[in-house]
Amino acid sequence: MKQQRIFPGLILIGFGLYFYLQQANIVLFQHFFTWPTLLIIVGIAFLGQGYRGRENEAILPGTILVGFGLHFHVVNKLEIWPDHMGTFILIIALGFLLRYQKTRNGLFHGILFLGLSIILLFSDKAAGWLGLIEGSVGSAWEFWPIFIIAIGVYLLFIRKK
């Protein structure tokens, strides 16, 4: 039986702590009174519902919300953290892979998004490598978004299970 009390319970606890600490005006927590913290709270509630409530479909949105919240907290504080679209796709890939771990469903999506995030995160280095090759490969690199669109069209309209 699915436990429907975990998600709202964690939301209420998380928001209650958030607003209590905000009212207490503790200097240590001043940097956490932002909207990314609210994303993390909701994401943790989804993850709690996914793992403790055995609703494995909640793992994907939980991972995405926690990941995006952490990204927005860390992006301007750590030099090594990439401020790039590939980071968001990497978080989504992690969500699919974590959900696959429990449901055995979504491995293809996780690997697809992981590959796309690697391409995006390292595209500047890949362009340098392609610069060594030059010629037709270099100009073909400009059309990689069309390749991604083609995969999406294939998944939506052509592939039938």
Tell me the two tokens of residue 155.
Answer: 């998944």
Q: What ranges do the domains of the chain cover?
A: 6-110, 122-161
CB half-sphere exposure, 143, CA atoms < 13 A: 8
- What pLDDT digit, counting tens, does each position of 102-121 carry? 998 889 899 999 988 988 88
Q: What is the pLDDT of residue 91?
A: 94
- Closest to 7 measured CA to CA, from 36, 48, 38: 48
The pTM of the whole model exceeds 0.85: no
- Give the DSSP letter string of 20-43: HHHHHT-GGGGGG-SHHHHHHHHH
- Per-residue pLDDT band for 151 (boundaries 50, 70, 90) equals confident
- What pLDDT digit, counting tens, does each position of 19-53 carry? 888 888 877 877 888 899 999 999 999 999 999 88
Q: How many Å apart are CA 94 and CA 96, to the nearest integer?
A: 5
